Structure formats: C-alpha cells, structure tokens
Structure 1
C-alpha cells in the first residue's frame, strides 16, 4: 500500500510497482472475482432502508462488484466501501461513478452553454469545482466529458456537448479532463473522468436518440474523432462506448473502434466501460444474444459492463466453452484495478469518504459565486434592436412566460443531484437586482405546450404547474398593458433536451409561440430570454422581438446571472458553437460543410441546378461563432507576414480590432482556413484558432495568430495525417459568416 506514496520515483518505476502489485492481486483472484471487477451495477434503489443488508451489499461481499453508480450521499458510499474492503475476501475497493455532467450540487450551465464561452480556462475551473464537490460526497469517477460532435439540432443530447466543431471541441474536451483529474488524481478532491460516447453518437440518423450512425472513415477522422483523441491525450482514465452501431457493429463490440483505434493508434491505457445496459441491448440491434454479445464485447476491448450483468452471467461459461480465454478477462480486470490504483484507492480505500468534507464543500458561497460569473459568460446576445439592452433600471417591466418563475428549471438536463429549492428564478433575480422601487409585474402567460400529455412527456422529473390557457394569456396581456418593456422567458423546459429528448419540431412550443404572437401584437418592445438546450428555429421570434438573449440553462445561479446581464453589470460575450437554422428543413446545418460541384451562388433566390432549396436559403439564421455585445467592435484589415510559406516556416496573421461602442467588452476573434485543393475534398472553412481579447471602449487591440504546417493537416484517403503543398484561404472575423479572406501558398 505504500507503493504510490514513495517519492523520487520515475514514472517507469511507479508503473513497474503498480504492475507488480496488480500481478500479485490477480494471482490470488478467482475467475468469478475477476469478472466481478468488470461488473458495474446501479445503486439507485438505495434510497431508503439499510445499505448493509441490501442485495447490492451481498454481491459486494462476494467480490462480484467492481464499482457502483447512482448512489448519492457519502454515508451510503462509505458503508458500501467498508463492506468491499472489510467484508469481501480480497478487500478490493470500489470505484464510485456518477453523471457529474455540469456540476454536482453547485450546477454550472449545461455543456453546450459552457462551450459558448469559448473559454477553456473557465471550463476547466468549473470541472475542478465539480470534482471537489463530487469527491466530497463519495464520488470518484464522473461520466463526463461528453465530446460527441453534433450537427443535428433534433438530437437532444446536443445539450451535453460542445457543438459542431472538432477543433474547439478538442480544446474543451482536454479542459474538462484536466479539471476533473487535476494532478493525476493524487488529491482527494480529484476524480477520474470518463470520455463519452465512443464513438460518433452525435451523428445519429434523423436526430433520434440511440439511432443508427453510418459514415465513411474519412469523415470519422476529419470531422468527429478529434475531441475523443484530445481527451485521451489529456490523460482521461476511462472511456465509455456508445449505444450506436459503427460500420454495422454496435460500438461496444467493435474491435476496430475500441482496440485498433483507441488503444493501438491513440495509445489509450485506461479502461472502457459500456453505456447503460448496452451489452444486453445488442440483441435488439439484431447482433447477438446476451452470452455471445458479452463475449464479443470483451474480445473487442470492453472492460466493464454497466448494469446488464452480461459478464457476470455468461463469461465463466464462455471460458469453459472455449469461446474466450481467461487471459482476456485478466487483461480487462487489470485495467480496472490499475484505475483504482491510480486513484489511490488501494492506499486509502476511504479517500473519498470524508463526511466532514461533505458538510463543508458542497454548494458553498464561493462555488456559487463562480457559477454565477461563468453563467453570465455563456449567454449569447442574438438580437438587440436599437440597443434596447442593457436595461436602464427605471423601466416598468412585464415579466411573462412559463419559465419566468420556474426555479426548478434553471439547471437543465443532468442535474438530478442538486436541490432546486436553493435556486432562484428569473423573477427572483430581477427583483433582487432592481429593488422594490421598480415595477415588475409577473404573469405566467402560457403552459409549455397546449397538450397536457405532450407537456408531461417533455418535462420529465421537473414538471411545471399547468394553468388555464385563456386565463393566463389575459393575465399576461394585462401585465403588458401597464409596462414599458415586456420580458418573455420562454423556450424549452429543462428535460426537453438531453438523453431521450429528441424533437422533430425545434420551434418554441405551440402555446408559447401563441403567447409571443399576442405580446408582439401589443406594440410594446419584447425581449426574449431564450431557454434551450439545442439550436431552435427562431425565424418568427427573430423577426418580431426587440432583443433575444439566449440564456440556455444557466445552472444554480442563473437567476442572478440573467439579471446581471440584462441590467448591464455584465456585457454578454458568448458566441454560438452550433448553427441555428432558419427552418427544420435545413437540418443538419453546420458551417464546416463540404462544397458541391454546383454550390449555391445566391442565397436570396432559388437557382435551378444549384445546390439549394426552392423555398429556403442555405445560410443559417445565426451562424457558428455568432454573438453580439453591448458594444461595437470594428475590424481593420487583416495582414499576413508573407503570402508563401514552406513546411518549416510559420505564418503570422494580425488584425486590429477597435471597440467603437460605449462599453468595455470581450471580443472572440476567429481564424478559419480552407485547403482549396487536396487529396480528399476539404470543408469550405475550418476553425483553426481564436483569441478572446478584452478591449476597453475607444481602444484598439492588435490581435495576432501564428499558423504552422500542423494547423493545415488533415487525414487523407489513406488515413495519413498530412498536408500537401498548394493554395489556402485564410479567413478572420467575428463569426464564421462574417470574415475577411486572404490567400497564401504552402510550398515544399
């Protein structure tokens, strides 16, 4: 047990000591105990009653459990760990997992919102706090980050990722891993990350969750794999396989994916865990029954079985049958034991079971303040006609909408561990910001949907009280009649995005659209506070609203953060990481698409035999990288240090950016490239760098980028990561649609 505490050891020395320790342990294990380490049940039923006498506890005593998930509370976890360490034959500690996706009890904005900060330091800080809180309550392993690229807004789990771009997604994936794991998980407030979902889950057909994924390997490497690899390169301790098929084979049993790519190409040395019950679900794919699916999953490189009990029920028999060798089980078991060793659990099994920490480190004032600051930086100002925002503080406000006074819906998906009674609503936040002297009249205005059954299916665990549609609309219009400005808090409720929350109609739901139309009809300016976990079709709202502030789901401190931005205490700086369509018919829509042989030459009208629609343009309503500020930034001319570079030279790009407005602000300057002719067709543009700069009003900043040949590389038709000499376009601007273009040549 002293092995991991010795100082002065090289990494090789420590690895050798870990190997000897685990060699010795495995040599004393029975086959069933090895399979037990590969078994991950849920403890979600341990809500009441005795942990000590539960069915799960008995399995732990027998050495048939390697870890648990969905148990909340350090006292319960400590007791389960005690049973594992003190009452099982070999005393192997448990690893304890949880979906700490965007906070534990202090909830940060949903990951899609976090990505819109474009601030990896901020994201790492949020992950660090999440790890501190989760570890204080007994959790040692988080099923995060989710790094799936998503380009189809119908898919609800776009809320859990970083949007549509692999470059930005890679930087964000690395930041999460660093934040969770800290200094190689040495501290008692550092936990293991689990990168999910490997792989391609965000490209499910028709945006339907759990659905088929089918794409070329070239597209996998160039458009989807990068964030997974970045997380692996950052040292992620575990990877979760995805529900979907890849090349017609379920990812959990896909040897090319889990062994050839993940381990052999990328050098991943952690362990692979399935998603919830995915081994058993292979029979529904038409791939294999439980016994054969378990064998195929193990052979492919899946080490731990979440919930299905396929390994526990069948692997012993498969060894006897000769279908698999015990050496494969030894290999999988070893990887899980190594993870526990690296977490320090063999040295101190109760590392994450300090009850005093749980009393002092959860939902602290310090953590809440950070959450409030972060939330404000994720909001995206999408429209601001005549600079109606920020508010002056003396306007009479009509605050309407079903999400205006809904504190239990501020956090969004994957926030089950928080106590929403401790949060405040938009209504609370505005009242706190302006005090009693300013008139704020509240009216709910509408239900989420007109149809009660549709709303019931949408709201999940956090329902909103329903009211009479006609009565609520009248109350909203009455409030509007005595106001100067209407603020409408509308959009999705918290469980309308996330897992199993696909939508075929991505407009604001019907009852709320009717409310908005009535409010627009008053002639009063309407400011929309948009709650959403995905891009929406905002064509109606964009045409008629005076302002749209996308607040996503901002977490525990959203109420105060929203008020801070509305009243100008914080200048919004969020930028979109996913394109907003003009209509559902454009989906999937994303900025870094390939060109066609007949590209559309004019987005204002239909062009016969061009790649366009009869009834809609090709451009998004709001493009990737877009976001407004309370101030105005003006870009000067882009300058390049040269127009030809060789493979060993660098290109310096500079652009002056001036703050011409009345507020200090942060601008995100974005640099894109296009490889004009290559071994395989390349996208019309690809993000390759960006810089966030704070510019005081009236000042100019010269923003510089350095590009090398590494920034120009891609995966060619043979799978090599390379680049050829040739012509490139370089584009700089405030978003993917508004750029200045320069040209350079890469020579041998």
Structure 2
C-alpha cells in the first residue's frame, strides 16, 4: 500500500446513522389475519438532514392550512387524497365527498364547471387541482427532454417550461407531471426519451431549470404551474429496459446516482413529487418508507406532496407486498404517498384502517396538509377559475420561434465527412426516407395533450428544406419505405432520386410510439428496412446525410460506416422541419452534445461513461480483461460527444490552488476556449473529476461542470468553474456523505473522453 493510501482519511460532511424502519405492517394474507401480522423490522441507513432542503414555509399559508384542517371531517380529509381522471368520476365524487384533484381532462370550460361544483357546492369549498402530462409542451411542442438535454444548456429546458406553463395555466391546467429526472443507462427503456440521459449532474441542472421555468418565484402567478419531479426513485435502473420493472440498487448507488436530481429539485422548491412504479431493493417505491419518509421528507426536508403514479397504490397487491386494497392503502399512507391516482384505496379503506390503528391520524393530517399547502400556494382559493377567453388553442408566432430555436440548439452532429454539411443553397437535394414528410412523429412521445396541440402538425423535413433552399424546385422527394414496414418496393425510386441529385438528405428513425411509456425495444437498430434503404441510396454515389428522429440512442454502427454525415435531431417538436433545415444549411451551427452513450451493439448494454473501473480494465492486447471478443471497447459515440462546422481549442486547465480544504473548501478551474475555424459556433466545455483512490471505488469520470460558449471565428473566451467539497465527495453505503483526503484528478475538454488533466489535493 502506498503512503498516499495509508494517509487517506475520510471526513463526514454530515452525520448519518441508522434507523429501524418498520416494513409493511401487513402480511400477504387477505382477510382478518392480515391486520394481525407482525411487522418486519429492517435496519437501514438514514442520511443526515440535508441543509439544502425545501425553501422556508410561508407562515400565512401555514396558518390558513391549519385553520382549514381543523374544520375538516375525516371523510373530507380522505377525499383530498383522491385524484381522478374523468369528469364523470369527479362529478360523482364531488356529489358526496370532495376529491382532491382531476388529471388528464382539458378544456377551460369543462375544468371551470368541475371547479364550480367543488367551490360552490361542497361544504368547505376546497378547490380542485388540475393536472396534465405537460412533458415538453402544452399546445406548442418543444423537443423531447432527451433532445433538450443534448443542448447542454439549461436555458433550453427553462424556455420550454416557461412557454408550457403559460399555455397550460391560461387553459385551466395548474399542475404538470414534469420534469422527469430518471437517470438511466438503459437505451432499450422507452422512457429514456422523457429524461436527461445517463448523468446525474446534467439531469440535476436541466431539472432545476425546468422547475424554475414552470414555477417561477411564485407559482400562484397566472402563467405558472406546480411542477412534479418524477419518478421517485431509481426508475431508470429498470431491468432490461422493461417498463415498470425491478431495480436492485445499493445505498451508495441510490444516493450518488439516482437521488441527486431529486435533491436538487427539492432545493429549488419543486411543489410535488411522483412515486415510481419500480421496486427499490425489493420494496416498491409506493411503499418505501426509507426513500419517501427518511430521505425525501426528513433528510431533504421536502414540504410539498407526493402523488402516486397511475394505480401505483393498487399495484402493491401485484407486487406481492399487500394482500388487498386495505393493505395497499396502509402501506402507501404509512410510507408517505400523500395522494392516490386513479385507484381508490385511500378513500375506500382509510376510515377502517384508522379505526384499527393501522394508520394514524397524524399520517392522514400530514398528507392533507401537504396537498392544501400546494393548493394555497397555487392561489386556487383566491382564483379558482380560469378566464375561458384566454384559453390557448393555437401555437403563437412567439412560441413557434422559441420552439424552432430550441429545436436546432438540441441537435447533435455525429459525423461530417468531406465537410458535406452545411449544404449549399445551390445544391440539388433529394429528400428521402420514411420520416421526410412525417408530421406528428416529429413531436415524439408525450406530446399533443393540450388544447389545440393536436391541430398543429409539425413542419415536415421536406417543407423545411424547400423553404430554406435557394430554389424549392431543386428539392425532390422519394419515400423509399415506411418506418417499420418490410416493403422495399420504393427503393428503386429512392435510388433514382439520389442519382439525379447532388446530395441526399435521408430522414430515418423511429415513430413517436416507439419510445415513451410502455415502449421498450429489445432491438434498437433502425426499424424495418431503413438500413437497407440507406445501402440502396448509397449506391447512387452521392453524399448521403442521415437525419435521425428517435427517442433513444440507436445502434448505428452500419449507419456510421455508410453515411457521409449524420445529424441526431431527436424529436424536435412543432418546428421540426425548419429547425433541421436551419442546421443543414448552416443558419445554425450545431453545438449539441450527447447526454447518453450510443452503444455499438445491443449486447454491449449497459454502457456509460461514468462507470467504475475494474481490476482488469479493457486492454486490446490482453484477452483476460473486461471486454468483448467480437466488439471494440467503448461506445460508438460517447457521452458529451458532438461535432461542429467550425473547430475549437481548449487550453490546459489551470487551478486557483493546488489544495482544497475538506471542511467546506473550494477552488476554481479555468480554461481558454478559442474558435479556430472560419465560422461562428458553439462549444460545450465540460469538466470531469475522478478520485483515483477512495474508500468506495469511484467512477472513472464524473461530470461536475459544463458551459456552452458561443464564439465568432477567431474569438476566445475564458471559462471558469468552481469546485467545492460537494463536487469531490460521495455517499457511502450508510448514506453518509464523505469528503476524503487525497488526490483528485480534473479533466476538461469537449466530451467525456477529455484527456487534459490537472490534479489537486484535498487536505
């Protein structure tokens, strides 16, 4: 052992501990025996209370909540815990005992009518909260969140949230089930499209920006909504990429990898959280007292409310931790899920469970208090209705401009041989492919849910290119094939169109339905015969620019080997075709970077940049190392990768100090970025750290800073990052945050493969 290793010591940035947590106080039995079952006791680590919890409570709101709570009957309290999803169910509930909210119902007049029944025709007049999955747009569809993460620009996420919140609130929706911040290493998982990729730091930055955009400084404002951080927690670790599946995770991995975006969102004041469908180390998230009470509500000091996912409480029965609806309700309330979505176990069994001592009055009151707190903070008691004349039913010119800008800013140039891009406006362009004239598929998953969204199709790639070309007549079109079809009868026409053109733009990828919830794919190649279409078109001998529309990383080795250029466009939203054309013709120089690794083959999954090293790292000259016999080491395209139409240099990093005090110390890291090319462009400067010797093996790289910098040709700029003990510390398997003494490596560059290194010592 080296002197460095011997001298290494750990310092706790916060004191942790252990607590005995009662597991479900139910058995898997049904009937009377279930209530008599002996609780299982498990010793689990509890993190220290985090100083960066929710913002301080509003005293006036707390006084009003407390006064209302005292007036409520048990039935009225339980009613607040119920969330329904149709107008009929809402009307039925309001006719007897008020429900807490309604979701997935749109239309200002319809929502006002339901609100009128709640406010004017129930004893206490408690307003409803109206929720909707406003994931990347209400009426105006922006790029999917994974695309937004590719911008490496939190302002992109915030812009989406600002526009979406204003459109939704003016249309009667005051609660969005966004942002999703499930960090994942699993491209087969359809819901990767809804999140920010594989890195917890990037996800945290984008999530906080979304929360800020949705809520502003006061989400009672007429253009703001309550945000909902989801899915809590570790949903991105689902086995095999299959939705709703199991996650088995260590305490340190939970706290270092999956929890940071939620912690950051709570500190940013997010109003609500949604529990996830998966188990966490054997305990379903909807019944997990450790993650919900000990971590979220105690350690993170979260003071909003937790809503179940769709029938998530009922599904505790199928998970095998509840014998019936009463068991499920007891488990959910005890664990800390405050509002039940769709299923009605809280309302149906709450009174009985309270009488039998299986839940407590304080647990019910705490849940109701949290829900009322958000309703008061939304201003619903003062302004329960929306002005129906102000409902947003069409995309405005201003919103279109923002969607177009964020669409192009979210694209990533993966290949550009022969400098074929940007295209010349004098070129004859053949636009080919199953997505060349697609409309709603360019919106991607979870789109078109708001009023008017379904009547505003995205601009097609063909129309966007024709509008941008010097002469629309110089742009021809051939479909080639459908997205998933095996029909190759269109290949001949596509090849002929390519032969008659100077350059081919080939629009390939997935339909919107191929990613998102319940859309896992075991094979993530280009669907159908699209790869064969590419091979057929290449025969014409013209440069081929592949533009990809997809909701996940795809296996693109053959595409990479064949195409002249590749532009990753994701699902860009309502201005898709124009945003693509802006990039193809150079009006916008692509500056996006990949927020997730692209595997060479599906058998390589999981593959991600922030992996731990092994005792035998991959070595092409040594068989007995961690690698495949039939595949090159590493991803096809790594995290943080992306090209430009210009070139940049990033200087060697310089530190403000060679040491950092482990007790709250900090230092700065500076580099100079120069645009060494002939045109203006953006570079994303990325900072990674690595702790080479630690008490728990650390990832080979951890992103801890990034900055997207726009520079004119020849221009330079100094970029400075500040590192603190938060950036070099980590959680152990007792949920303690450790800042250990010793050497820390810092890498700065334009991708996770950055090799310019400097070191400092934590003392």
Change (3 A) 1:400 1:320: same
Matched, 1:639 2:672: no
**In structure 2, what is the equivalent of residue 344 of structure 1?**
379
Matches within 5 A, 1:217-366: 217-288=251-322, 289-350=324-385, 353-359=386-392, 362-366=394-398
Greater relative contact order (Cα 8 A, min sep 6): structure 1 or 2?
Answer: 2
- In structure 2, the CA distance between the partners of 1:55 and 1:726, relative to structure 1 (3 Å rule), is closer
1:726 equivalent in alignment to 2:759: no
Choose the corresponding residue for 1:666, options 662, 673, 682.
682
Q: Which residue, out of 677, 696, 709, partners 2:712?
A: 696
Counterpart for residue 63 of structure 2: 20
Provide, for residues 260-293 of structure 1, a one-character-per-residue CA deviation record: whole Å limited to 9, x for no partner: 0001100001101000001111111122122101
Q: Is the 8 A contact 1:183 1:190 kept in 2?
A: no
- Using the alignment, how far apart are the partners of 1:481 and 1:122 within structure 2? 39
Range that drifts further, 563-572 or 59-68: 59-68
Partner of 2:761: 745
Match of 1:42 in 2: 85
TM-score of the pair, normalised by structure 1:
0.92
1:532 is matched with: 550
Q: Is the 8 A contact 2:141 2:448 kept in 1?
A: no
Corresponding residue SS for 1:192: coil
Q: In structure 2, what is the equivalent of residue 462 of structure 1?
A: none
CA–CA distance in structure 1, aligned partners of residues 360 and 176 of structure 2: 31
Runs of 4+ residues deviating >6 angstroms:
none
Distance 1:393 1:438 in 2: 12
Separation in 1, partners of 2:446, 2:347: 29
Q: 1:629 aligns with which of 644, 651, 658?
A: 644
Q: CA deviation at 1:27?
A: 2.6
1:680 aligns to 2:696 (yes or no): yes
Say which is worse superposed, 112-121 or 54-63, in terms of deviation: 54-63
1:656 matched to 2:688? The reply is no
Cα shift at 1:568: 0.6
Q: CA deviation at 1:228?
A: 0.7
CA drift of 1:437 comes to 4.9
The SS at the match of 1:564 is helix
Q: Which moved more, 1:25-34 or 1:73-82?
A: 25-34
Report if the CA contact (8 A) 2:216-2:224 is conserved: yes
Determine helix, strand or coil for the equivalent of 1:280.
coil
Could you tell me whether the CA contact under 8 Å between 2:443 and 2:458 is conserved in 1?
A: no
**Is the partner of 1:630 in helix, strand or coil?**
coil
- Contact preservation (8 Å) 2:595, 2:640: yes
Give the TM-score, by structure 2 length: 0.90
Distance (Å, rounded) in 2 between the aligned partners of 1:253 and 1:160? 24
2:710 and 2:60 map into 1 onto residues whose CA distance is: 49
Any idea what the Cα deviations from partners look like across 1:702-746, whole Å, max 9, x if unmatched? 333232333211113432222111011111111001321222222
The answer to whether the 8 A contact 1:185-1:342 is kept is yes
Which ranges in structure 1 are unaligned for 5 or more consecutive residues? 1-10, 47-53, 452-468
Aligned Cα root-mean-square deviation (Å): 1.7
Q: Which runs of 5+ in 2 are unaligned?
A: 1-54
How far does residue 670 in structure 1 lie from its aligned partner after superposition? 0.7
Distance 1:336 1:646 in 2: 42
Q: CA deviation at 1:109?
A: 0.3
CA separation in 2, counterparts of 1:269 and 1:362? 36
> Please, which of 238, 248, 267 is the counterpart of residue 214 of structure 1?
248
SS across alignment from 1:707: strand
User: What residue in structure 2 maps to residue 609 of structure 1?
Assistant: 624
What is the aligned partner in structure 1 of residue 35 from structure 2? none
**Structure 1 stretch displaced more, 735-744 or 623-632:** 735-744
Q: Is the 8 A contact 2:90 2:102 kept in 1?
A: no
CA contact 1:393–1:438 (8 Å) conserved in 2: no
The reply on whether 1:126 has 2:160 as its aligned counterpart is yes
How far has the Cα of 1:644 moved from its partner? 3.8
- One of 412, 416, 421 as aligned partner of 1:384: 416
Q: How many residues align?
A: 704
Within the candidate set 214, 230, 233, 1:180 is matched to: 214
Secondary structure of the residue aligned to 1:471 is coil
Match of 1:705 among 715, 721, 745: 721
Q: Which residue of 1 aligns with 2:19?
A: none
Structure 1 contact 185–191 (Cα < 8 Å) conserved: yes
Q: CA deviation at 1:548?
A: 0.3
Q: CA deviation at 1:362?
A: 4.9
Deviations 1:167-186 (A, max 9, x none): 11111111111111112213
Quick check: 2:98–2:122 contact (8 Å CA) kept in 1? no
Range with bigger deviation, 659-668 or 544-553: 659-668
Task: Look up the match of 1:195.
Answer: 229
Deviation at 1:435, TM superposition (A): 5.3
